[in-house]
Structure formats: C-alpha cells, structure tokens
Amino acid sequence: MEITFVLNGRAVVVDVEPTRPLLDVLRTDLGLTGTKQGCDHEGECGACTVLLDGRPVRSCLTPVGKVTGRCVQTIEGLGVPGDLHPLQIAFIETGAVQCGFCAPGVLMAAKALLDRTPDPSREQIIEALDGNLCRCTGYARMVEAVQLAAARMRGESLPAPWAERSVIGGSPLRADSIAKVTGQAQYVEDVVMDGMLYGAVLRSPHHHARLVSLDAEPAVRVKGVVRVLTSADVPGKNSFVEYSRDEPILPPIGETVRMIGAPVALVVAESPAAAQAGLASIAVEYQVLPYAFDPTETLRADAFPIAGEDNVLTEFQVRHGDAAAVLAESDVVVETGYDTAYLEHAALERETLLGYLDEADRITVVGGTHQPHWQQRYIAQALALPQEQVRVILPPTGGTFGGKQDPWPFLAVALMVYHVRRPVRLTYSRRESFDASPKRHPYRMGFKIGATRDGQLTGIHVRILCNTGGYDGHGQYIANYALTASGGAYRWSAVDGLARSVYTNGPKAGQFRGFGTAQSTFALECTLDELAERLDLDPLALRLQNILADGDRSFLGYPVAETMGYREVLEAVRPHYQAYCQEVRAFNELRSQQGEPLRQGVGLAGMWYRFGKSGSLKSEAHAELAEDGHFVVYCSAPDYGQGTNTVMSQMAAEAMEVSRDGIELVNADTALTPDSGIQGASRATYWVGGSVVAAMTRLREEILGVAAEMLDVSPAVLSVEHGRVAVRTEPGRAVSLVEVAREFDRMGKRRRVAGFFDLTPNFLTENRPEYVPFFVTGAHVAQVEVHLETGTVRVLRVAAAHDVGRVVNPLDAVGQIEGAVLMGLGAALMEEFIPDHTTGLSDYYLPTAQSLPEISVHLVEVGGKFGPLGVKGLGEAAMLPASPAIVNGLSRAIGARLRTIPATPERVLEHIHRSRVVR
Amino acid sequence: MTDYRFPVSVEEALDILDAHAASSTPSGSGSARVIAGGTDLILDMRRGKRNPACLVDLTRIPGLDQIRVIGGVVEVGAAVTFAAIQEHPYLRQHVPALTAAARSVGALGIQTAATWVGNIVQAMPAADGAVVALALEAEARVVDRDGAVWWSVEELFLGPGRSVVDSTRQIVTHVRFPLPGHSWGTSWQRVGRRASLVLPIINCAVRIVLDGEGIEQAVIALGPVAPRPFRARQAESVLTGQRPTDEALAEAARIAQGESDPRSSVKRASREYRLAILPALVRAALHEAVRRARGSER
C-alpha cells in the first residue's frame, strides 16, 4: 500500500504493508537508522521514540498506515553536526550520552516536552523521560541536560557547565557524542553490507535435556535458507575452553544442553524471516532430564548430575588464624544469610554482530566486547585458522556491563561467515538475549562476624554458593572474586572463607559489573550494619574504627599495595549521613504522630574493590607520529559507552603535552591495535591508560631528540605543539612535525613506538593469580522512604563518594557513579530474572527516570602510587555500595532486616509485618 | 497485504466492516477490525492473536477526538488519547481519578496514542482505563448496523480480554459518564513493581457522592482482582447512607478485600500480597475521595 507522510519536513512515499511498525519502515525502507530498537516491538524501552505531529510515540507500536498524511520527526530531523539542536549540545556538554543507544529516543521525548513546556520543572522532565529506559547514565545527567537546553532556548546564556574545569588533556567532552546525538553513529544493527545474510540460532526449549537427534535437512530445503550448521561443521575446537570450560559452540549429538536458550544449531538465510522459517523446520529430538535452579538442591548427594564433579565448578578458600576460636571468644557474633537474584545486563542495544571477509580475506567479526583479542583467539581455535586470519573490531556499542563479553556470538558469526563466505549479521531478539545471554550470579551467603563490645571486629566466617547456571561462562573465577569482596577494607584477626561456584539449570552466569564482588559486598555491608545496630554503634564510626592501615594484612592474607582512601571516602559522606539522619528522625516523629504510614531510614555502606585482572600486570599500547605530523594512538580499550575513547585520548594528550583535538585514536581492532589486555575489572584507565601514557611519553622523547638534532638545541628547551616542535627560549624558532616525521624516515627510525605499563617487577609473581594488591574504595549513603501499608520503597537521596586516585574526566566519572547508583538501586529493589518466568523488558523491571533519587557525587582524589598520573579504577566499583546502602536504609526504616534482594514491595511488606518497631 | 482505511464517518466505518464481514471466516480472519491507538492491537497481531484483512482507523472521524461536557454528561470520543485526557482542564479539576489513571497507562509515548475507549474494549482485568470507567459508572455507545445502544461499561466485560463488543462489526464511538456534581469526589490509587511503565499489582478507583454529612453513593472499582475489572458492590452498599467515619471507611475496605479474588503472579505479586495491600488502597482512595467531595481538596 502506498503511504505518503511528511518525514523531517519533506514528503515521502513508501509502498509497504501498512501494519508494519513505523520503526521498521524508518530503519529498513528509508535507511534512517538513528531511531533505535531495544525491545521486541513491545513498547517497553522507548529507544524508538519519534514525534508524530509533535507528540512522542513509540514507533515500534505505530503501524505505518497510521502516519498517512501526518508529520513524523526523527533524530535525523533534530539537528546535524555543525547545526545541532540546543538539546543535543546540552546532552554533550553535561555528559548525558554514554553508550548513546537510548539517546535518540530520549532527545525526541525531551524535544516534545520543550516544544510545549519551555520552562519545565524537574518533575516534568522526569515524567517526560520516564518511558525511555537508559542503562548507563542513571538519568541524572539527562535531566540536567534538558534543564540546560531549556534555559538556553528561553534565551539565557549559559556556559557549558564543565567547560571551566581544567582536566587532563583539555576538555572532558566526548569525541564521539556528536555522532551519537545526531543518530549518525553506526551501531552494528545500522550497518548493511552488500549480499548480507541473516543468522539465527536454534536454542534449547528445555532446562536440561540430552540431544538425541537433529535433522537439518528440512531446513536446508526452506526457501531462502543458505546453510544450516551443526556441531559437525565446526572445523577446529568445538569449545572456547580458555574462557568457559564446558560450553561447546554447538552441542554434538548425545551431549546435554543444560539451560533454556542453549544453542543447538545455526541457520544462515537471505532474510530474517527465512532464517526463522529455517529454525522452525529443524527436527530435534531431546531426552528431557530433571532440572533444578537452586544450588542448595543441586549440591545434594542425590542430586541429578549436571556437570563437573558433584555439580561444583570451582571452589576457593581464604583461611588465616583460627576463626572458630576467635568467634567463640568474641563479645558478640552476628550471623546472617543473604540472597541475591539473577540479574540481566539489559544493555539497550541487544547482542548484534556482523561478520564478513575483509579486504585481506580475514574472517572479520564486528561486535561489542570487552576483549577483541580474546575473541580473535577463540575464533582462530574454533576455525583451525592462524590467528592473523581472524579479525575482531569493536564498533560503537550500546552498552555491555559485562554481558557482551560472552564469546559465543562471536564464534557463531565467525562460523557462519567461514561456511558461507558472505557477510552475515546476527541480532538476538530481546527475548533471546534474556534467555541466552549470561546473567549475574545469584549468591546464597552465610556470614558470621565477631566483634568486641566496643566495636572492634574480630573473626569472620563466610560461606558462599555462587550459582553459575548451566555452564561455566567464566564462573570458574567467581568463587575467588566472591570471597575477595566479602571481607572488605577491614582488619580481621581470623578469617575462614569458602566460596563455591555451583551448577544449576538456570541461565549461565558470567561477567556483570563488579564480577562477583557486588553480591558479597552487599552481604558484608548489610551484616556490618546489623552488627552496628546490635552494638548500638554509629555505622560510620564502626567502619572507621576497623579500617585496614597501610601494611596491615588484609582479609585476603596479604597487605594492599595501592593507596585506598577508605577513610577519606567515609569522611566525604559523613556530612550527608548526618544531615539525612537528622531529617529522617524529624520525618518519622511527625509521621508517627500523625499516624501516616510512611517511614524513612538512612543506610550507609562502604566497599573495597580489587581492580585489575588477576594474572596479568602488563599492558601494551602504541603511539605514532603520522607522516602528516599528527599523532595516532593505538590501543585496545573497547569503548562500549563508558568513555575510554575519550579518556585514552586525554591521557595521550597529557603525556605529549598537547591538547586533545589533534590526536587520533585507533581503538580495539585486532588488525590494527596491540592487545592491551581485557577491559574488565575497571582496569582500562590504570593499565591501558598507563601503556598509552608510556607510549606517548616515549614518542615525545624520540621526537624531541630528533627535533633537537634538527634545531641544534638541547631537547630540554623544546616543546611539542600541534603541528610543530618549538624552541621555548626563542619564539618563532621551530620545526614542523611533518619535517620531524620525514627526518624519522630518513634516519630509518620507526615513527610508531610501543609503550608498556608493567607492574610485574613490582610484585611477587609466585602467588598470582590470587595475589592482586590493588583496591579502590567508596561509600554510599541512601535516604529511603517506605510505605508501611504497601511495602513500596522510594530512594530519595544518595550521596556517593569514590576514591578515584585522580580525576581524568569528571563528567564521565560522575556519570559512571550515577549510572551505578541506579543499577544498584535496580538490584536492591526491582531487578530479578526468574527462570521459567522472565521474558524481557516487560517483566524485568529496570529503574526508570521516576526512580532517580537526588544524587550527590564526591570524587575523592587520594593519588595512586603506581598508576599513570595517579589514577585508579572506578566503573565497576561504583556499583558495589549502592545496593547495601539502600537495603540498610530500608531495613532501618522498618526496623526489620531485608536479607533477600530485590526487596520487592511484597518482601518489604512481609518484613514490616514481622517488625516490632513500626507496628 | 492488510488494507488500512481512514473512514470519515462512523457510517463509512461500519460499511467497511460490513464489506469484509461477508468474506470472513468464522475464526475472524479475512475480517476488518477497528483500530484506534493500536498499541494493544499491533502487539496482538505480532503475536498472531489477530489477523485482520483490513484495519479501520477511527482516529480521523470528525468529532471522535472530542471531550465534551454537555447535557449532564462528560462524553469522550473513541479517538481521545490518554494524553488528551490528562491535559483536559475540566477533567483535571473535576475528575482527578481519571486524569491519574490516564497517567498510569504505560508511559507518555504510549499515552499519546492509546485511547480510553480502546483500553475499555480490550477488557483486561488490570486495565487502568477500564477500572476508572467502572468507578465513574461510565457507559459506552456501541454502534452497529442495528443502530446505537448505550451499554453500561461494566456489562461489556466478559472475561480476560473478552468484550461484548465485536470489533470486526461494532464500534464504540463514545464513552460517557455523569457530570460531576457538587459533592462528588474521586480518587485513584495504584501499586506496581516500579513507579511507572508497569502493569499494576492492584489499582483502585473510587467515586463518592456526599449528601450532607452522609454518603449518598460510593463506587469502588478494582483490578486485577477478578477475571474482569471489578466493582466491590458489598463494600459500596455498606457505605450508602453512612457517615464517612474512619471506621466506616476501614470497614468498607475490609469488605472489599473479602469480595476480591486476585490471582498469584510470580512476576508481579502473590494473591496474598494483593489481598494484603488492597484494604490500604481502598481506604486511602475512600478518604481522598471524601475529602475531595467535601471540597476541601480537589
């Protein structure tokens, strides 16, 4: 049917099925890919928001027939680079764009608001953005951005709020934000290649089953199906054992599949519909086996075997002193049991990868990941190819939070390209992403901590079961991380810790922001709060009293090497803590007198977080003086929204002592960049940044050396500027960098140099991988309100302090922390993936803009001893104290302890009914 | 290919429905179907629950996008969106429960398309628009070849997702409810797993009409506590003629709890939890509606 409408001011005609979603017509038929899809056309995420006659609508729920004769405006019509809308400028200037995937929808919703309400209140802004999910920013920067844009559109002349701040490398504004706010950033889903095919995955519908037979023949005959692949089609190793011990790429006949969503076969087809039809035609026979989701159950002696010995993947212990004896002698012992749920990363961009043969005929896969070189290696092993014949490139990525570290989709796409020799794109549906992508491990935790009457901590006994689900998925290391976090930055005279990673038939668990440390931090910090209550001690004082001093043996049995700043972060939240407490006391007295069913509480939590990957204390990056005189930095610090593209450029600029604008960054492409190590454990700024600084410092020295020869002066009087090297003492005397580059070439000197950041010589190697002595700390305080009759909870205010060593990018640091607060709030109050029940964004409750508390962030700078420029890690660490602070506040508000999260209204109400305080 | 039509009159819309009815199968395929906002229908079609040959879009029929306050009633056309309801000054002032319910449906980007009438025709037991319509004792104008009949909205609901209205041959053109009187007060209460963009665990709409110091009429509507949007009639009847004391309102809330029969949902809440919070919501709604009826608060 022919449909005519006005699109961004120009009449367009499309000949399409009128019931098709406007979203699909915009993206596919009209090639306007700025409008994003985050859910399965269910109206659950808001990423597809466009304006219809000026009002925001979900284009995924709008049949295109409906827009006949009407005006549609998309992000492409809002503003273009060079002529940005004030909202786009404000989003960039306030740091409201991280991964950027939700940004087009949010911007359109904000535009609709400002068109009607030029001077909106904070509440009106929140309401306007409320249906647009964002997983990165925590919404706070966005609200600020809309306020800024509104003020400017009303004629107020306001500077960029962060422009005055002097930062490393000049400006904190992100280089890639212009593309993201204009819809021009090319995420994988936005890329179409000639001859591109579509991949799809046949997945197990059973929690636990044996694959008895598989007949692909009927699928091969389906029109449009190009190829069906099974385990027999894997030419090399049918595994990625270095990452996950027990996951085949595709299961051979006779093997078990151990979770719903486990992959069984692949279909490559000319269209997504043909791929789906192909999947439906594959005949599979399963022998269904017993299943269980609870690790306590699968550990029982008579449990049905899932994998490993006795269904245990790995275990890890920490023991020093006689914890039993110390606890027996303690004045007080607090014993607790805490449980956490499966969490889904729910990055707004679903798993999407594109594979093709590049110009050098390499199997190339483009997709979001934390470690392109690992994926390259796994692919090479699976395809029995030399590593050089495989290439992995990081595109603009719409968030991962650990979820996109899963190597499986990379292997699947590579295998498809290997067989069909044509470009293949694989996009998970949101449902598929929920079923098959790794989750955060649910923990069952038992803590016993002892103390003297005056609050001196004594012994600690910890038992943790980490539910790894049906597969390893990197859960082999989780037990270690679980224990690492469970002692905190506190002095213990005796420790007895044991954590086990246990198989069940739940979804496989994997990396999730904090990698196994957030759950045990939650339990520890809540248990400490219980101890403070028991002893009637101030929880802040209790923590300060027990802080590890320099040189003290930590919970892990060795001293911490890096500065920790724990006292400083606790002191930074103290004024907030006291103010909240005072306000809450007055609030509760008044409400209690009036008989109103509202109570508030204040919760405090701290944390320590081991940053840096165990096993490797070395990173590599390269710096180049290009022929035309500009600088190029090569590293692998994947930017999936957290801002490494910007931070690496800033640090490079700082090392070269030039401004950031002329520095080109080539990041995360295995054909072009060195392996800088995995981007996990918040190690990028410290380790990769260290190697970038090292490379640029070395290049600078070499440039100065060459220029000094050319100018016949001492290198000490030279300075590098963009385009030239100048003699500081003689204005006007300089040599251009083009000439310097030419001189390098003439001398046969390489213009590209490697830089290494390597702490290996500083630290003993024999104890590694366990021994990693770098920790950061932080503390959050939350003011929480509970409705006593319904159990609903609102977090009103959060103060968050983190020791970042040295601030590289204040906007990004604040944005990371605010985003982490909302993610921690989600984990504390809403988010829970329930196997067999949860299907997607309609029943996995992410925080919306209405959840946003007032957040005060404190960036504490206790300079690091070893890292570049004094920096430390932050991104994951920021997640840790939020949940326990909120749950402590909630528990104090109702006078009963919530020990299972999420604290749903139902769970909260049960505890209110049990509480003696508020009834 | 599905046909997509914009009739300019109800008459023409009926003609299109009729023309397809002749060729449709008993299962409904091949038929034409009414679409307003489409936010539910498009989802149903994607999931294969509906497969119309033609969509008959009501939103451009002149007049159906109007909210009219006339002749003792408030009349809301089939093309009126939840966003339009929220923005209507008269409704904001006099029927705040309706405004609040309209704000509860999904998110703004859905409220700008979804219509109140469509929400009622969908007949889901938790539908915010349906529950508030019950409290307002709204009526729906159902039009077909035999003419137009005003039905009580309550009578339209047959079961979860099942309505008396057959959208392949009938059109609800309007919903109306009595003009708010002087001692009229409404209230809307809702609890969900998060503040917004979520289905309710319990929603509750109340309308109170006072006669001097006593309650002349109380209407208490609840969802999802039964297969259909539900009126707690026993609770309503004990309030009639009573003074709205704390005790009387609390007693009515307890009775409403006794009348309700909610289901457990692993993803939202158990039956027990729904029952536990229900009296608190009803009581809060009754109190607020009484305050508003007394004019001490709008």
CATH number for the domain spanning B31: value is 3.30.43
Does A88 lie at the interface with B, CB-CB under 8 angstroms?
no
Q: Are residues B190 and B153 in the same domain?
A: no
Based on its alpha-carbon atoms, the radius of gyration of chain A, rounded to whole angstroms, reads 28
Tell me if B19 is assigned to some domain: yes
- Report chain A's terminal Cα–Cα distance, integer Å: 64
Is B136 inside any structural domain?
yes
Q: Hey, is the C-beta of A486 within 8 angstroms of any chain B C-beta?
A: no
- Examine the domain organization and report whether A791 and A896 are in the same domain: yes
Query: From the CB of residue A194, how many other CB atoms can be counted at a distance below 10 Å?
Result: 7
- The CATH number of the domain holding residue B230 is 3.30.390.50
Residue A478: CA count within 13 A, CB half-sphere:
37
Under 8 Å between Cβ of A529 and A784 = no
- A126 and A150 housed in the same domain: yes
Instruction: Give domain status of residue A423, yes or no.
Output: yes
* A840: contact with B, CB 8 A cutoff: no
Closest CA in chain A for residue B273:
A906
Cβ contact, residue pair A790, B281, below 8 Å: yes
Q: Are residues B71 and B47 in the same domain?
A: no
Question: Is residue A56 domain-shared with residue A115, that is, in the same domain?
Answer: no
Pair A511, A370: CB distance under 8 Å: yes
Shared domain check, B71 and B148: yes
- If asked whether residues B209 and B223 sit together in one domain, one would say yes
Rounded to an integer, what distance in angstroms lies between the CA atom of residue A66 and that of residue A70?
8
Give the separation between CA A71 and CA A170, rounded to whole angstroms.
42
Distance CA A630, CA A460 (A): 56
Same domain (yes/no): B190, B286: yes
CA-CA distance, B272 to B262, in Å (whole number)?
8
Closest partner CB to B2 (pick from A17, A42, A109): A17
Q: Which CATH number does the domain housing residue B92 bear? A: 3.30.465.10
Whether B62 is in a domain gets the answer: no
Give the tokens for residue A447.
Answer: 């803590």
In angstroms, the CA A690 to CA A651 distance is 9
Which of A46, A77, A108 is the C-terminal boundary of a domain?
A77
pLDDT at A165: 64
Separation between Cα atoms, residue B67 and residue A680, nearest integer Å: 56
Side chain identity, residue A899: R
Nearest-angstrom CA–CA distance, A657 and A659: 7
What local confidence, expressed as pLDDT, does residue A164 receive?
59
Q: B25 with B71, same domain?
A: no
Does a structural domain hold residue A333?
no
Residues A602 and A649 in one domain: no
Among A690, A723, A758, the domain-final residue is: A758
- Judge: A130–B107 Cβ closer than 8 Å, yes or no: yes
Range of the domain at A220: 197-290+360-436
Q: Is B113 on the interface with A (CB under 8 A)?
A: yes
Do B191 and B284 reside in the same domain of the chain?
Answer: yes
Nearest beta carbon to residue B108 from set A65, A66, A130: A130
Under DSSP, is residue B197 helix (H, G, I), strand (E, B) or coil? coil
Are A274 and A177 in the same domain? no
Residue with tokens 């939650």: A522
Of B55, B195, B201, the CB nearest to A19: B55
- Under 8 Å CB pairs connecting chains A and B tally to 135
Chain A residues within an 8 Å CB radius of B277 = 789-791, 905, 909
Identify whether B298 is part of a domain. Answer: no
The per-residue pLDDT for A309 is 87
* Domain match, B207 and B285 both: yes
- Residues B132, B174 within the same domain: yes
- Round to whole Å and give the CA distance between B266 and B288: 31
Instruction: Note the maximum CA span of chain B.
Output: 62
pLDDT score for B297: 53
Position B298 scores a pLDDT of 47
CATH number of the CATH domain containing A243: 3.90.1170.50
Q: Are strands A663-667 and A718-721 parallel, antiparallel or unpaired?
A: unpaired
A26 and A132 co-located in one domain = no
- Residue A308 resides in a domain: no
Q: Residue ranges of chain A with pLDDT lower than 70?
A: 163-166, 614-615, 764-771, 918-919
Cα dist from A303 to A73, A310, A791, A878, whole Å: 58, 8, 37, 38
- Residue A203's DSSP bridge partners are A263
**Residue A343 in tokens:** 């969490």
**Predicted-complex ipTM score:** 0.97
B83 CB near a chain A CB, below 8 Å? yes
pLDDT tens-digit series, residues B227-252:
999 999 999 999 999 999 999 999 99
Whether A180 and A282 share a structural domain: no
Among all residues of chain B, which has the CA nearest to that of A18? B4
Sign of the C-alpha dihedral computed for residues A82, A86, A92 and A94 taken in this order: positive
What is the edge-to-edge ordering of all strands in the sheet holding A854-860? A598-610, A775-787, A793-803, A854-860
Provide the domain limits for residue B230: 184-293
Residue B25 in domain: yes
Write the residue in B57, B197, B268 that is nearest to A131 by C-beta: B197
Residues of chain B whose pLDDT is less than 70? Answer: 26-29, 296-298
- The beta-strand segments (E) located in chain B are 3-5, 32-35, 54-57, 67-70, 73-77, 139-144, 147-152, 157-159, 162-163, 171-178, 184-192, 200-211, 214-223, 230-231
A501 domain-assigned: no
pLDDT at position A681, please? Answer: 78
CB-based contacts of B179-183 (< 8 A; 24+ apart in sequence): B179/B69, B179/B72, B179/B73, B179/B74, B180/B74, B180/B94, B180/B95, B181/B209, B182/B295, B183/B209, B183/B210, B183/B211, B183/B216, B183/B293, B183/B294, B183/B295
Question: What is the domain count for chain A?
Answer: 5
In sign, the C-alpha dihedral spanning A564, A552, A766, A484 is negative
| Shared-domain flag, residues A693 and A593 | no
Same domain, B287 and B188: yes
Residue A34 covered by a domain: yes
* Cβ-based contacts of B83 with chain A (< 8 Å): 55
Produce one character per residue of A548-578: b if its CB has 16 or more CB atoms within 10 Å, e if not: beeeebbbbebebbbbbbbbbbbbbbbebbe
A41·B46 Cβ contact <8 A? yes
Angle at B82 between CA B81 and CA B87, to 5 degrees: 100
Q: Note whether A176 and A207 are same-domain residues.
A: no
Handedness of CA A289, A292, A296, A297 (dihedral sign): negative
With respect to residue B227, please indicate whether it lies within any of the assigned structural domains: yes
CATH number at residue A597: 3.30.365.10
- CA-nearest of B222, B250, B255, B262 to B236 is B255
Are B173 and B205 part of one and the same domain?
Answer: no
The CATH number that applies at residue A30 is: 3.10.20.30
Check whether residue A847 and residue A710 sit in a common domain.
no
Least CB–CB distance from A57: residue in B6, B113, B193: B113
CATH number for the domain spanning A127: value is: 1.10.150.120
CB A56 within 8 A of CB A95: no
Looking at A40, A58, A77, the residue that finishes a domain is A77
Distance, CA of A508 to CA of A833 (rounded, Å): 12
Angle at A696 between CA A693 and CA A698, to 5 degrees: 105
Residue that finishes a domain, picked among B142, B162, B178: B178
Q: Does one domain contain both A579 and A702?
A: no
Are residue B202 and residue B218 in the same domain, yes or no? yes
Whether residues A403 and A431 fall in one domain? yes
The Cα-based distances of A5 to A12, A776, B56 in angstroms read: 6, 55, 18
Contact call for residues A354 and A429 (beta carbons, < 8 A): no
Q: Give A57's contacts in chain B (Cβ within 8 Å).
A: 109, 112-113
Q: How many domains does chain B have?
A: 3
Is residue B241 in a domain?
A: yes
